[in-house]
Amino acid sequence: MTVHVIGAGVAGLAAALALARAGQRVALHEATPAPGGRARALPDGTDNGTHALLGANRAALRFLTAIGAREAWVEPEPLGLPVLDLEEGTARRVALSPLGWGDAARRPDGMSLGGLFALLRLAIPGPDRSVAAAFAAHPRLLRALVEPLTVAALNTPVEEASARLLGAVLRRLGGKGAARLLVARQGLGPDLVAPALATLGCHGASLRAGARLRALVQAEGRVTALDFGDTIIALLPGDAVVLAVPPWEAARLLPGLPVPQRHAPILNVHFNRVEEGPVRFLGLLGGLSQWVLVRPTGVSVTVSAADAAVGLTDAEAAARIWPEVRQAALRFRLPGAWPEAPPLARAVRERRATPRHGLNPPPAPPRRPLANLVLAGDWTLAALPATIEAAVRSGEAAAAVLGRALRQRVVA
């Protein structure tokens, strides 16, 4: 009996690992030449942006531990996030946890008793509204804290982003250590994808890259074969499929499947800069840049909800972003040289990076649309934004559903 996992992004890797650890034979199929999905967009295998995890992302951290990669994730700003306001020229270090806001110097700008109550109200179920509407009475707090958090977590402008979904994010940040910020020391390729593949190999899983699934051959509500164009794999009666692909690919393979139709873009710009020093993570307000990740091997900048920026050329993006990065680096006294001229840069544009997390989202698709096929992918969890955490959780959920179905069949 074999479980075929279609798609070797984070969701597919998580599903494959859960199944392999449960004793299932796993065959992993990836359409692109290299596995990793959105986590591995650059030729050297590093990540495509300033991906970060929080201490609240328990599923993702559990996955890192299972693949032996947890120690490769470091906390770059344990004293609080350095934030530079490019418009007002102010710089401060903001505590990510509400437990640290008792110190006025580490409190987000605009935080007041009313603003705190507005944050707490998000945790109370009720009619949904936009994040901008929920914080209309607290514009400074919206600009300094809520908007950056919204575009980072939901990748959707605050004018349309769901306050209910943002509340689901905030509810996870209240516990001790839940707001710790963690980043991959080298990148998602070396510090997530590669160790996941190595661990899967140790469990006997196979990987076939460069193999795009052309069609699912079906009969009587089951998948009977996988059509890869040059190869058709017939499924045995006990075989099963985990479909861990983007929503548009899932809709192509399963016509009629309800999937998100509207997506939000992300622009990432990577600057070549080799300079010894610690890993750092900065936040910027009032500019094009939002998050800056500084590693000894380069500087990565992310612009989320990037409808107005995703069309910039590499040169245009670098020319606009590097002065902002340089200003922040000098203001926070980051080590090394920060010349006025931008280094060689490359932009990575994800025009359909995530679903737009607005009001009245489409219902989640069925986890098991066919008897021997289950879905995985961050977009399949309507209650969570499309993040690494959601991808891991969806993969584990798919493996759990499939495991129960297989056990019931054995018992029957």
pLDDT of residue 375: 98
pLDDT digits (tens, 9 = 90+) for 226-271: 999 999 999 999 999 999 999 999 999 999 999 999 999 999 999 9
pLDDT digits (tens, 9 = 90+) for 289-335: 999 999 998 999 999 999 999 999 999 999 999 999 999 999 999 99
**Exposed (0-12), middle (13-18) or buried (19+): which is 103, by Cβ within 10 Å?**
exposed
pLDDT of residue 411: 37
Question: How does the average pLDDT of the chain come out, rounded?
Answer: 92
Q: pLDDT class for 125, splitting at 50, 70, 90?
A: confident
- Angle among Cα 171, 163, 124 to the nearest 5 degrees reads 50
Phi, psi dihedrals of residue 102, rounded to the nearest 5°:
-65, -25
pLDDT of residue 363: 83
pLDDT of residue 371: 94
pLDDT of residue 9: 95
Q: With residue 215 as reference, give the H or E element that holds it.
A: strand 215-219
Q: pLDDT class for 175, splitting at 50, 70, 90?
A: confident
Q: pLDDT class for 412, splitting at 50, 70, 90?
A: very low
pLDDT of residue 37: 86
Residue 337: count of CB within 10 angstroms of its CB = 7
* Contact present, 339 and 273 (Cβ < 8 Å): no
Nearest C-alpha neighbor of 46 from the set 287, 279, 341, 249: 279
With a cut of 90, say whether residue 173 has pLDDT above it.
no
pLDDT digits (tens, 9 = 90+) for 191-221: 999 999 999 999 999 999 999 999 999 999 9
CB within 8 Å of 147: residues ≥ 6 apart? 131, 158
Q: Backbone dihedral region of 377: left (phi > 0), alpha (psi from -120 to 50 degrees) or beta?
A: left
Name the E strands within 61-159: 73-74, 81-85, 90-94
pLDDT digits (tens, 9 = 90+) for 15-57: 999 999 999 999 999 999 888 888 765 655 556 667 899 999 9
Instruction: Give me the mean pLDDT over the 158-172 stretch.
Output: 92
Nearest C-alpha neighbor of 396 from the set 247, 225, 242, 293: 242
Instruction: Give me the mean pLDDT over the 154-159 stretch.
Output: 96
Q: At what angle do helices 147-154 and 163-171 cross, to 10 degrees?
A: 90
Distance CA 300, CA 48 (A): 8
pLDDT of residue 383: 86
Tokens of 135: 């914080």
pLDDT of residue 123: 77
Residue with tokens 């009977």: 224
pLDDT of residue 41: 54
DSSP string, 258-290: -----EEEEEEEEEE-------EEEEEESSS--
Nearest C-alpha neighbor of 250 from the set 12, 16, 47: 12
pLDDT of residue 170: 87
Distance CA 69, CA 197 (A): 12
DSSP-based three-state secondary structure for 231: coil
Residue with tokens 């004793």: 23
Q: Which stretches within 122-246 are classed as H helix?
A: 131-134, 139-141, 147-154, 163-171, 188, 194-202
* Contact present, 51 and 388 (Cβ < 8 Å): yes
pLDDT digits (tens, 9 = 90+) for 326-384: 999 999 999 999 999 999 999 999 999 999 999 988 888 999 999 999 999 999 998 88
pLDDT of residue 44: 57
Enter the DSSP assignment of 216. E
Distance CA 405, CA 395 (A): 16
Nearest C-alpha neighbor of 155 from the set 314, 340, 378: 378
Q: pLDDT class for 409, splitting at 50, 70, 90?
A: low
Between 407 and 286, residue with greater pLDDT: 286
pLDDT of residue 195: 96
Tokens of 99: 């437990």
Name the E strands within 2-89: 2-6, 25-29, 53-54, 73-74, 81-85
